[in-house]
Amino acid sequence: MNNTGFIRKCVRLPVQTLNVSARLRVHASLASTVQKELRLLKITPKRSLGQNFVTSEEVLHQIIASANIQKGDRILEIGPGLGSLTEAVLQCGATVLAIEKDDVLHGHLKQKFSQEPAVSLIHSDVLLLRNIRDILDDFGGGEEGPSIKVVANIPYNITSDVLKMMLPLKDQLNAVHLLLEDGAARRLTEARPGDKDYRAISVLINFYSNPRYSFKVNRGAFFPEPNIDSAFTEFALCPKSDQLRGMGEQDFLKFVSSAFLSKRKTLVNNLKLRYPAALVEEGLCKLGMASTARAETLSVQDLIQLFVYLTSDAGGTSAAL
């Protein structure tokens, strides 16, 4: 069944090129198709599990354009659900690797795309895939540099976990595009040092990527209709660099987690279980920062410099406790 018949050419066309009657027609068509398929599969979507299916082909069109999906692209889709976005991606001439956790939906997708060689399915919870790097290698990521795009409508409650899992895969992925809860999308893409929403996940995001809030999606574009609006986001992964001067990324991320342990405490207090307080004060002073500084006031680059100082010979007795 083809749910996305109007998406014929994958180019960056403005949504305004669709007249009002066309928009209403395609919206009604996909909405009825989604509800019909759910009835046939005897699935009652649960808001608590983040089971909200896109019912607007206009939104699918915007996703395709925003992610700039082209012929030959490799797309990793997390939680494809009924396969509406999958079909839209296929019409661009892209290849899809789809990971679906739900037993019934996986069976539906397997049947739906049984004759489609450009679709590969994995039946699993994406967060439980310990061999994700091997899977992406097999899919072609890293053959000529990072070449895979993640494009997905994920449950809101796994947003942070998905970002923590996907963003470090910059050797294989070149971008992560996600439909998120609108407020979270704003916080994750726009929080800056000193903002109340600037936290450890903000540092991780800006360390690995250039985040962008792409466009808002009204709650009426989903079934069942969620209580909040959504937004499409882009996290364009940064090229590999040696910002950490050969020190481990995981060690840096642990350092960041410790630095943000308690918002009301200074860096000296938050890091005292890892480094001597005197060493942290010394590092802050030498880097031109106040000894009373809190993590939420420091940029990613500031935190990198402090981490390098504390874990290198520059800090003298800098070995972590």
The pLDDT value recorded for residue 7 is 36
The pLDDT value recorded for residue 141 is 64
266-270-275-278 Cα dihedral, nearest 10 degrees: 30
Among residues 112, 108, 107, 63, the alpha carbon closest in space to that of 89 is found at 63
- Taking only the tens place, the pLDDT of each residue in 201-238 is 999 999 999 999 999 999 999 999 999 999 999 999 99
- Taking only the tens place, the pLDDT of each residue in 233-273 is 999 999 877 788 888 899 999 999 999 999 889 999 999 99
Domain boundaries, the chain: 15-237, 249-315
Confidence of residue 19 (pLDDT cuts 50, 70, 90): very low
Annotate 137-149 with DSSP letters as a single string.
Answer: HHHTTBBTB--EE
Tokens describing residue 277: 């307080």
Beta bridge partners of 122: 99
Whether 90 shows a pLDDT value over 90: the answer reads yes
Q: Which CATH superfamily is domain 249-315 in?
A: rRNA adenine dimethylase, C-terminal domain (1.10.8.100)
The pLDDT value recorded for residue 185 is 99
Buried b / exposed e across 93-107, counting CB within 10 Å, b at 16+? Answer: ebbbbbbbbbeebbe
Annotate 28-88 with DSSP letters as a single string.
Answer: HHHHHHHHHHHHHTT----GGGT--EE--HHHHHHHHHHTT--TT-EEEEE--TTSHHHHH
102-103-109-114 Cα dihedral, nearest 10 degrees: 150
Neighbours of 162 (CB within 10 A): 20
Annotate 101-150 with DSSP letters as a single string.
Answer: --HHHHHHHHHHTTT-TTEEEEES-GGG-TTHHHHHHHHTTBBTB--EEE
Q: How far is CA 115 from the centre of its chain?
A: 29
Q: In angstroms, how far is the first alpha carbon of the chain from the final one?
A: 60
Q: Give mean pLDDT, residues 12-29.
A: 42
Whether 25 shows a pLDDT value over 50: the answer reads no
Q: Give mean pLDDT, residues 78-94.
A: 97
Whether 10 shows a pLDDT value over 60: the answer reads no
The pLDDT value recorded for residue 50 is 80
Confidence of residue 143 (pLDDT cuts 50, 70, 90): low
Whether 306 shows a pLDDT value over 90: the answer reads yes
Q: What is the pTM of this model?
A: 0.87
What's the CATH code, domain 15-237?
Answer: 3.40.50.150
The pLDDT value recorded for residue 46 is 77
Among residues 34, 58, 66, 57, the alpha carbon closest in space to that of 234 is found at 66
Whether 304 shows a pLDDT value over 60: the answer reads yes
In the chain, what percentage of residues exceed pLDDT 90? 79
DSSP 228: S
57, 17 Cβ separation under 8 angstroms: no
63, 177 Cβ separation under 8 angstroms: yes
Q: Give mean pLDDT, residues 151-167.
A: 97
Q: Return d(Cα 170, Cα 66) in angstroms, integer.
A: 20
In the chain, what percentage of residues exceed pLDDT 70? 87
Q: Which residue has the tokens 């991780």?
A: 204
Confidence of residue 72 (pLDDT cuts 50, 70, 90): very high
The pLDDT value recorded for residue 227 is 92
Least confident residue range of 112-126, 145-159, 236-250, 288-302? 236-250
Phi, psi dihedrals of residue 176, rounded to the nearest 5° = -125, 120
Q: Return d(Cα 200, Cα 254) in angstroms, integer.
A: 10
Neighbours of 305 (CB within 10 A): 18
pLDDT, averaged across the chain = 89
Neighbours of 277 (CB within 10 A): 14
